[in-house]
Structure 1
Amino acid sequence: MPDFPKNLKFFTPTRRSLLKTAGAGAVLAATAGLPTRLFAQEPLKVAAVYTVPFEQQWVSRIHIAANAAKDRGDIEYTATENVSNTDYERVMREYCEAGNKLILGEVFGVEQAARDVARDYPEVAFLMGSSFKEDAAVPNFAPFDNYIQDASYLTGLIAGAMTQSKNIGMVGGFPIPEVNRLMHAFMAGVRETAGDDAKFQVAFIGSWFDPPKAKETAFAQIDAGADILYAERFGVSDAAQERGVLAIGNVIDTQADYPETVVASALWHFEPTLDRAIEQVKAGSFTAEDYGVYSFMKEGGCSIAPLGTFEDKVPDEIKALVAEREAAIKDGSFTVEINDEEPKSS
């Protein structure tokens, strides 16, 4: 803090006095060595529309990042959870009418309706989870996705080293690119350490949030010989825990809940994606671009969770390999393939 002269007097200006002496204020600031920006920029009004509960893995990461931006004063944030696809457009429009300048959400089931809303509110920025790319015809609509294939590949290296049966169960929500690319990256890692003869059981439950169904599907895979499960959905790790097999987490770290079950997890960090959007909206330069790239490991958008309770159970040579590949991914000398095709059981 600078040392101010003892005889310098401070006062609280009224709105009228500020309006009358706006020009003089800048001069006084300059002569006193104070910054010319006397007042912080107003927080950006941001709203989010989610089709699932806040605690669902994918949405929880967006919600955490938005609340972090709110806590540091960058945004005002409000959100609605469990919005049905049939009601999604209405809620989007209500948030636009309420003066929000940035709308977040996931529009995998309402793609066309969401882009129609964006066309009707050109002064509002839309940052939406989507399987489709940006469209110059809708310049205020930018898609994102959790491209965390880098971290998924690393967990595959670990899973391949931990399986004894070389039979891996994989339970996902829907076979869309956002899920497919993570599964393929995981499978590539498994094959690298377990061998090309590793077997995969792949199933999709047709829901983003149905833990009981995911659990039953996982039970069937365990009964068919799987000794490690890829838990793309909630419910899978519960099945693994009950049957005494291992699991690999996705998007969030659940090892604290399953300390003897969840070996490793691929974590998604939405902060780089959201911070980029906030910056662009405040600068008046937000436009249609693919925000998916901000989920890459080199951008800080994903990471592998600490091994925690499995630190001494994963072979040292595998930990060394993971560290080597992680460094190579970050410096660009190793690239994890992005494969959006639907994975099949082998």
Structure 2
Amino acid sequence: MTTTRRHVLALTAALAVSSPGLALAQAKLKVAAIYTVPFEQQWVSRIHKALKAAEARGEIEYKASENVANADYERVMREYATAGNQLVLGESFAVEAAARKVAKDFPKVSFLMGSSGKPQAPNFAVFDNYIQEPAYLTGMIAGGMTKTNKIGMVGGFPIPEVNRLMHAFMAGAKETNPKVEFTVTFINSWFDPPKAKEAAFAMIDKGADILYAERFGVSDAAKEKGKLAIGNVINTQDKYPETVIASALWNMEPTVDLAIKTVKEGKFKADDYGKYSMMKYKGSELAPLGTFEKKVPPEIVTKVKAKEADILAGKFTVKVNDTAPKSTAK
């Protein structure tokens, strides 16, 4: 038995030397992520969830840092790259120049970063939350549900990633209700629930009976005042069963899984992964109506389902508008 075991070990070692690709395929991919906000923040939670799923499947070794200050971002990126991580993910919007500089200094490491910019050869790929399609559908629902024809919208910052979803939502609401008016406010923070809540209260005081919850805190205000809300990126209806009507969900699994696959195959390059957030690739979807299934008017449900089918069939394209949305309420 000892001799046989020795032969097997010797053969395995010989194969690893002669076929390094085989040894690499057997080893777990080392993946790291850097987040400027807590893991539970909407945007980041979707990336974290997809990576944790890959970790649970045994595909990757995963390490992550949350609440990293912009000033520390470059240092943390370099630490992860130096530590032998083969794939590094994060959101580089506020640290674009520094992140791209790190990628240049580590050409053998693959970087996939949330970014409004273009890919940077050879190893800096980008992704974005192109979930304007389900955002349009949630707008259609909101337009059909409002009684006051006034909708309040609270966002983090007026950047393309937020603007395009708000515009899509507004266009959807206008389709089912041309009379609807919008009040738009940005709280200039990615994670400040109390501030978002106060902004939502102000909108409710002005007559808004539905709130677009681009940030945490908005649904709390709606719940306290007996109003309704539309979710974004994640589905929070389980926490607000009488408040959140519907949500535009972002699924990062198609993006993350493709990146892991290409790194493992040695084929990763500076691509734009943005399209994998669209409904066609299952990167986004309209959340089930759940507790509101019987509360949304049947004619609105029919219109939404027809529009969803047209989007998936390529018959209808939701316009991407990255400019800052403006209030239309008088």
Both structures adopt the same fold (TM-score exceeding 0.5): yes
Tell me how far 1:17 sits from its aligned partner.
Answer: 4.0
Whichever of the two has the greater Rg, that structure is 1
Single out whichever of 327-336 and 262-271 deviates more from structure 2: 327-336
The match for 1:277 is 259
The match for 1:140 is 123
Matched, 1:313 2:313: no
Instruction: State the Cα RMSD in Å.
Output: 1.9
Q: 2:146 aligns with which of 156, 159, 163?
A: 163
CA distance in structure 2 between the partners assigned to 1:201 and 1:41 by the alignment: 54
Single out whichever of 223-232 and 274-283 deviates more from structure 2: 274-283
Q: Secondary structure at the match of 1:110?
A: helix
Consecutive unaligned residues in structure 2, runs of 5 or more? none
CA distance in structure 1 between the partners assigned to 2:6 and 2:316 by the alignment: 58
Task: Give 2:10's aligned amino acid.
Answer: R
CA deviation map 1:44-76 (0-9, x unaligned):
110000000000011000000001111112111
Task: Give 1:96's aligned amino acid.
Answer: A
Q: Looking at secondary structure, tell me which structure has more helix per residue.
A: 2
CA distance in structure 2 between the partners assigned to 1:134 and 1:156 by the alignment: 31
Task: Give 1:261's aligned amino acid.
Answer: T
CA deviation map 1:102-154 (0-9, x unaligned):
0000011100000000000000111001111223xx32111111100001000
Single out whichever of 329-338 and 227-236 deviates more from structure 2: 329-338
The match for 1:70 is 55
Q: How does 1:318-337 map to 2 (within 5 A)?
A: 318-337=300-319
The match for 2:191 is 209
TM-score (norm 2): 0.94
Task: Give 1:270's aligned amino acid.
Answer: M
Tell me how far 1:300 sits from its aligned partner.
Answer: 0.5
Q: 1:189 aligns with which of 151, 163, 172?
A: 172
Tell me how far 1:18 sits from its aligned partner.
Answer: 2.8
The match for 2:281 is 299
CA distance in structure 1 between the partners assigned to 2:7 and 2:240 by the alignment: 57
Task: Give 1:15's aligned amino acid.
Answer: L
Structure 1 residues 281 and 40: CA distance shift in structure 2, 3 A: closer
Contact 2:25–2:264 (CA<8 Å) still a contact in 1?
no
Consecutive unaligned residues in structure 1, runs of 5 or more? 1-9, 27-36
CA deviation map 1:281-337 (0-9, x unaligned):
112121111111100001100001111110000011111111111111111111111
TM-score (norm 1): 0.90
CA distance in structure 2 between the partners assigned to 1:184 and 1:129 by the alignment: 20
CA distance in structure 1 between the partners assigned to 2:216 and 2:202 by the alignment: 16
Tell me how far 1:40 sits from its aligned partner.
Answer: 5.6
The match for 1:342 is 324
CA distance in structure 1 between the partners assigned to 2:75 and 2:13 by the alignment: 40
Tell me how far 1:15 sits from its aligned partner.
Answer: 2.8
Q: Secondary structure at the match of 1:70?
A: helix
Q: 2:218 aligns with which of 233, 236, 254?
A: 236
Task: Give 1:97's aligned amino acid.
Answer: T
CA distance in structure 1 between the partners assigned to 2:7 and 2:62 by the alignment: 29
Q: 1:176 aligns with which of 143, 159, 172?
A: 159
Tell me how far 1:12 sits from its aligned partner.
Answer: 8.2
